């Protein structure tokens, strides 16, 4: 039974990856910075995985975890990723998203050089690029602290691969969404608002820059690519993307149409929510992943949007049922 260590297991990507690896017969160990943190995404598999509390800021503890758990594969997914936090606490973003990668790589080089490692990189490393679509050869031009930190992590991964001979890969992930996405991301903000509006709990959705475009895929598809990278005979870096973009307006149109509504009746293009664009058109070419890994995204944009809306409607209804049961119990 192979053993996988996933940092940030209770996040969107970590939870999908844990489920995928369990289906492959892995022993799965997940790290979290706080044992009391929200574990909503892993509740269904909590009894099948092991959780250890560790911070990417603690080099000694990382070495101890590697020594104790003896993983065959390490998936480094822990990061500060909130779109609303791109410019807040940039030093902490650097500590976790940049130096945290270096600490993990250095710990692996000291404890077990046979471990296979994948770093969750980001399309944000390309920043203000004019090259569309981007490939693995596109120069990095990050435009915010998150992108800069991810670029550092990417290059440290390449450095340890080349100079320390580690099996270390970077997975350059483009926007990937799911019902497990947190509410501060625009995709989930839309799906959650559509659910509330369709259930009569809200009337309007305020958004900015409706023409902003993203290369949107499904997180459940993307974690399989990470695993495939570690099954290859040689380590390398790969872009994981759909190769197509859709606007925020497109997302709204599909989401509202799914519940029989016209988005234009409910969406307000709010100037106060407008932010100057920090990046160019980020659309990735996953041709290398198609060719070498045999990976293809399985979920279409429309199916992704509908999946998210359905999940939010169900979550709200389940919450209403739970509240009614609690109220009845209180009166009994």
Domain at 186-213+244-279+299-324, CATH class: alpha beta
| DSSP code of residue 284 | B
Contact status, residue 46 vs residue 17, Cβ threshold 8 Å: no
* Alpha carbons 290 and 287: distance in angstroms, whole number: 5
Q: Given 7, 15, 121, 122, which residue is catalytic?
A: 122
Residue 175 has pLDDT above 90, yes or no: yes
Q: Among this protein's residues, is 16 annotated catalytic?
A: no
Contact status, residue 102 vs residue 36, Cβ threshold 8 Å: no
Longest dimension (CA), the chain: 69
pLDDT of residue 87: 73
Helix (H, G, I), strand (E, B) or coil at 51: strand
3.40.50.12160, 3.40.50.1860, 2.40.50.140, 3.40.50.720: which CATH number matches 3-178+216-240?
3.40.50.720
Q: What percent of the chain has pLDDT over 90?
A: 80
Q: Among this protein's residues, is 55 annotated catalytic?
A: no
* Alpha carbons 61 and 225: distance in angstroms, whole number: 28
Band of the pLDDT at 57, cuts 50, 70, 90? confident
Helix (H, G, I), strand (E, B) or coil at 37: coil
Q: Given 73, 124, 224, 253, which residue is catalytic?
A: 124
Q: Among this protein's residues, is 146 annotated catalytic?
A: yes
Residues 6 or more apart whose Cβ sits within 8 Å of residue 114? 72, 167
More confident residue, 264 or 327: 264
Residue 144 has pLDDT above 60, yes or no: yes
Cα 10 to Cα 14, 44, 72, 120, 175, distances in angstroms: 6, 12, 20, 15, 18
Q: To the nearest 10°, the Cα dihedral for 146, 150, 156, 159?
A: -140
Band of the pLDDT at 79, cuts 50, 70, 90? confident
Contact status, residue 22 vs residue 187, Cβ threshold 8 Å: no
* Residue ranges covered by each domain of the chain: 3-178+216-240, 186-213+244-279+299-324
Q: Given 26, 75, 146, 174, which residue is catalytic?
A: 146
pLDDT per position as a tens digit, 284-303: 999 999 999 999 999 999 99
pLDDT per position as a tens digit, 24-41: 999 999 998 776 677 889
């Amino acid at each position: 039974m192979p053993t996988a260590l996933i940092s940030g297991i209770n996040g969107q990507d970590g939870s999908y990856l844990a489920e995928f690896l369990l289906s492959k017969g892995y022993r799965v160990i997940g790290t979290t910075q706080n044992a009391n943190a929200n574990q909503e995404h892993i509740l269904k598999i909590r009894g099948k995985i092991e959780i250890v509390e560790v911070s990417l800021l603690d080099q000694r503890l990382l070495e101890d975890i590697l020594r104790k758990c003896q993983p065959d594969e390490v998936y480094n997914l822990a990061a500060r990723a909130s779109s609303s936090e791109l410019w807040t606490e940039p030093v902490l973003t650097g500590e976790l998203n940049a130096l945290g990668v270096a600490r993990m790589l250095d710990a692996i080089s000291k404890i077990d050089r046979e471990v296979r490692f994948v770093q969750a990189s980001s399309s944000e490393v390309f920043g203000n690029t004019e090259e569309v679509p981007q490939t693995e050869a596109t120069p990095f031009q990050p435009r915010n602290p998150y992108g800069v930190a991810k670029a550092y992590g990417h290059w440290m991964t390449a450095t340890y691969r080349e100079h320390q001979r580690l099996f270390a890969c970077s997975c350059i992930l483009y926007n990937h969404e799911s019902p497990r996405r947190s509410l501060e991301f625009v995709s989930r903000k839309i799906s959650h608002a559509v659910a509330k509006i369709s259930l009569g709990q809200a009337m309007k959705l305020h958004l900015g820059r409706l023409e902003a475009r993203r290369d949107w895929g499904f997180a459940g598809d993307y974690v399989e690519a990470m695993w495939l990278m570690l099954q290859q005979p040689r380590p390398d870096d790969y872009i994981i993307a759909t190769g197509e973009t859709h606007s925020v307006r497109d997302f709204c149109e599909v989401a509202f149409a799914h519940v029989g509504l016209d988005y234009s009746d409910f969406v307000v293009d709010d100037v106060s929510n407008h932010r100057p664009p920090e990046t160019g058109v980020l659309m990735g070419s996953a041709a290398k992943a198609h060719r070498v890994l045999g990976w293809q995204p399985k979920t279409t944009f429309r199916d992704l949007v509908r999946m998210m809306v359905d999940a939010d409607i169900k979550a709200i209804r389940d919450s209403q049922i739970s509240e009614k049961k609690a109220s009845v119990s209180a009166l009994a």
